[in-house]
Amino acid sequence: MSVFADRNTRILIQGITGTQAAFHVKRAMENGTQIIAGTSPNRGGTDHLGLPVYNNVKEAIAAAPIDASVLFVPARAVKSAAREAIESEIKLVVSIARGVPVHDMLEIKSMLSGSKTLMFGPNTPGIITPGEARLGLYPEDIHHKGCIGIVARDSTLSMEAVLQTNLAGLGQSTVVGLGDDMIVGTDYCAVLDAFMADPETKAILLIGKADNVYEQIAAEYYKNLAHKKPIIAFIAGDSLPFGANMGYAVDIITHGFTTVHDKKSFMRACGITVVDRINKIHEVLKSMNLE
Percent of the chain with pLDDT over 70: 92
- Tell me the β-bridge partners of 11: 35, 68
- The domain 144-291 having CATH identifier 3.40.50.261: the answer here is yes
Residue 44 to residue 25: CA distance in whole angstroms: 18
- Strand pairing report for 51-54 and 35-39: parallel
CATH level 2 (architecture), domain 1-123: 3-Layer(aba) Sandwich (3.40)
Q: For the segment 145-177, what is each residue's pLDDT rounded down to a tens digit?
A: 999 999 999 999 999 999 999 999 999 999 999
Where on the phi/psi map is residue 20: left (φ > 0), alpha (ψ -120 to 50), or beta?
Answer: alpha
Please determine, for residue 8, whether its predicted confidence score (pLDDT) is greater than 90. yes
Query: pTM of the full predicted structure?
Result: 0.93
Please determine, for residue 239, whether its predicted confidence score (pLDDT) is greater than 80. no
Same fold: 1-123 with 144-291 = yes
How much is the average pLDDT of 222-234? 96
List the single range of 103-112, 207-216, 221-230, 271-280 with lowest mean pLDDT. 207-216
Sequence-distant (≥ 6) Cβ neighbours of residue 7 within 8 angstroms: 32, 33, 34, 132, 133
Which of helix, strand or coil describes residue 49?
coil
Q: Where are the domains of the chain?
A: 1-123, 144-291
Tell me what pLDDT residue 251 has. Answer: 52
- Tell me the β-bridge partners of 69: 12, 93
Q: For the segment 241-275, what is each residue's pLDDT rounded down to a tens digit?
A: 444 445 555 555 554 546 788 899 999 999 999 99
Within the chain, where are the H helices?
Answer: 19-30, 57-63, 78-87, 102-112, 155-167, 188-197, 214-223, 249-254, 260-269, 281-287
Tell me what pLDDT residue 25 has. Answer: 95
Confirm if 37 and 51 have CB atoms less than 8 A apart: yes
Mean confidence (pLDDT) of the chain: 92
Tell me what pLDDT residue 245 has. Answer: 47
Q: How confident is the model at residue 114 (pLDDT cuts 50, 70, 90)?
A: very high
